[in-house]
Structure 1
């Protein structure tokens, strides 16, 4: 994705994804990471207070290094 698509190149672009359990949030994050990883510096913050399942899934898929999840 070219840098010109972001409104302000000096600030990070942030995207929040919410929804009920099983709605596909983690898969959406996976697909976004796969799509953006080659031209963009990425980090993902997961907010599951009970498990690390989502973070571990993203790590197993290899879309981001451990220090970026």
Structure 2
């Protein structure tokens, strides 16, 4: 079995979650296999943002 790290990122709309994930994956992709799993829903708040 392979070892792994699981990192959870949560926050409100516009908090910078995607930017953080993009920077983090760029930094670690050369050393580790990376996968991103999303659990996103589209809400009225998203439409208005």
TM-score by length of 2: 0.74
Please identify which structure carries the higher helix content. 1
Confirm whether residue 43 of structure 1 aligns to residue 35 of structure 2: yes
Q: Give the corresponding residue for 2:21.
A: 29
Q: Provide the alpha-carbon RMSD of the alignment.
A: 1.0
- In the alignment, structure 1 segments of 5+ residues that lack a partner are 1-9, 51-69
Confirm whether residue 14 of structure 1 aligns to residue 14 of structure 2: no
Higher-Rg member (1/2): 2
Number of aligned residue pairs: 41
Question: After TM superposition, where is structure 1 displaced by more than 6 Å over at least 4 residues in a row?
Answer: none
TM-score by length of 1: 0.55
Residue 11 of structure 1 and its aligned partner are, at CA, apart by: 2.5
